[in-house]
Amino acid sequence: MTRSFRNPVLSGFHPDPSVCRVGDDYYLVTSTFEYFPGLPVHHSRDLVHWRILGHALDRSDQLDLSGIRCSGGLYAPTIRHHEGRFYLVCTLVDGTAQDGSFVLTATDPAGPWSGPHWIQDAHGIDPSLFFDDDGSAWWTGCREAADPQWPGQTEIWLRRFDAEEMRLTGPEHVLWTGALRGGVWAEGPHLYRVDGHYLLITAEGGTEHNHSVMAARSASITGPYLGNPRNPVLTHRHLGLDHPVVGVGHADLVRTQRGEWWALLLASRSYGGYHHTLGRETFLTRVQWEEGWPLLAPGAGRLEPRAPAPDLAPHPWPPEPVRDDFDAPGLAPVWNGLRTPAEPGWSLSERPGHLRLRALAATLAERASPAFVGQRLRHRDFRAAALVDFVPRAVADRAGLALLRADTHHVLLVVTRADDGAGRVLSVLRRAGGPEEVLARAPVPPGPLVLAVHARGQDYRLSWARPGEPPVRLACVDGRVLSTQSAGGFTGAYVGLYAHGDGTGAAHADIDWFDYEGRSG
Average pLDDT score, the chain = 96
**Exposed/middle/buried for residue 98 (C-beta within 10 Å: 0-12, 13-18, 19+):** exposed
* Angle (CA) 246 251 255, round 5°: 135
Give the C-alpha distances (Å, rounded to integers) separating 448 from 185, 288, 348, 360.
51, 56, 18, 20
Strand positions, DSSP E, 270-332: 280-290, 293-296, 306-308, 323-324
Q: How far apart are CA 402 and CA 404, in angstroms?
A: 6
What mean pLDDT comes out for the span 462-472?
97
Domain residue extents for the chain: 7-308, 323-518
Look at phi and psi of residue 83 and say left if phi exceeds 0, alpha if psi is from -120 to 50, else beta: left
Q: How far apart are CA 380 and CA 521, in angstroms?
A: 10
Q: How far apart are CA 18 and CA 376, in angstroms?
A: 19
Q: What is the DSSP string of 440-495?
A: EEEEE-SS-EEEEEEEETTEEEEEEE-TTS--EEEEEEEGGGGSHHHH-SS---EE
In tens, the pLDDT along 182-197 reads 999 999 999 999 999 9
In tens, the pLDDT along 304-328 reads 999 999 999 999 999 999 999 999 9
Catalytic residue annotation: 16, 187
In tens, the pLDDT along 105-114 reads 999 999 999 9
Q: How far apart are CA 107 and CA 87, in angstroms?
A: 9
How would residue 521 be classed by pLDDT, with cut points 50, 70 and 90? very low
pLDDT score of 520: 66
CATH class for the region spanning 7-308: mainly beta
- Other C-beta atoms within 10 Å of 480: how many? 22
Are the folds of 7-308 and 323-518 the same? Answer: no
8-state DSSP, 237: G
In tens, the pLDDT along 379-426 reads 999 999 999 999 998 889 999 999 999 999 999 999 999 887 778 999
Beta partners for residue 425, in sequence order: 416, 443
pTM attached to this predicted model: 0.96
pLDDT score of 505: 67
What mean pLDDT comes out for the span 484-508?
92
- Other C-beta atoms within 10 Å of 208: how many? 16
Q: How far apart are CA 386 and CA 274, in angstroms?
A: 30
Task: Say which residues have a Cβ less than 8 Å from residue 57's Cβ, sequence separation at least 6.
Answer: 36, 37, 38, 39, 63, 74, 104, 113
* Angle (CA) 123 126 131, round 5°: 95
Q: How far apart are CA 269 and CA 400, in angstroms?
A: 28
In tens, the pLDDT along 124-180 reads 999 999 999 999 999 999 999 999 999 999 999 999 999 999 999 999 999 999 999
- CATH architecture of structural domain 323-518: Sandwich (2.60)
